[in-house]
């Protein structure tokens, strides 16, 4: 399961990175938080805008109690649902 999950996660990340239209802010924040948790990247947000850093930090707090595996699963699900239901 771990290897399959890693492959699906990488594919979802690649899909997001290849998409050039803007994502809704709430979706972007969830993607950001799930990605950071899934990759164990605990560096602080580095936006030039303090308000953006605040939103990113809040998003990270919301995922602090989920596992790395769960974060990958949630990222994949969010990406799949976004592309399924987008206009």
| Domains of the chain, CATH where assigned | 2-85 (1.20.80.10)
Distance (Å, whole) CA 43 – CA 14: 21
- What's the rounded mean pLDDT across residues 6-27? 96
Q: Tokens 């969010």 belong to which residue?
A: 78
Distance (Å, whole) CA 73 – CA 87: 24
- What's the rounded mean pLDDT across residues 47-68? 92
Instruction: Output the pLDDT for position 44.
Output: 80
Residue 87 confidence class, pLDDT cut points 50, 70, 90: low
Distance (Å, whole) CA 45 – CA 36: 10
- State yes or no: pLDDT of 25 exceeds 70: yes
Distance (Å, whole) CA 70 – CA 5: 10
More confident residue, 53 or 42: 53
């Amino acid at each position: 399961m771990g290897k399959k999950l890693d492959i699906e996660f990488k594919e979802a990340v690649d899909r997001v990175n290849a998409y050039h239209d803007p994502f809704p802010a709430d979706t972007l924040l969830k993607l950001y938080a799930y990605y950071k948790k899934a990759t164990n990247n605990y560096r602080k947000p580095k936006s030039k805008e303090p308000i953006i850093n605040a939103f990113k930090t809040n998003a990270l707090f919301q995922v602090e109690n989920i596992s790395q595996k769960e974060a990958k699963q949630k990222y994949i699900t969010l990406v799949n649902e976004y592309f399924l239901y987008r206009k």
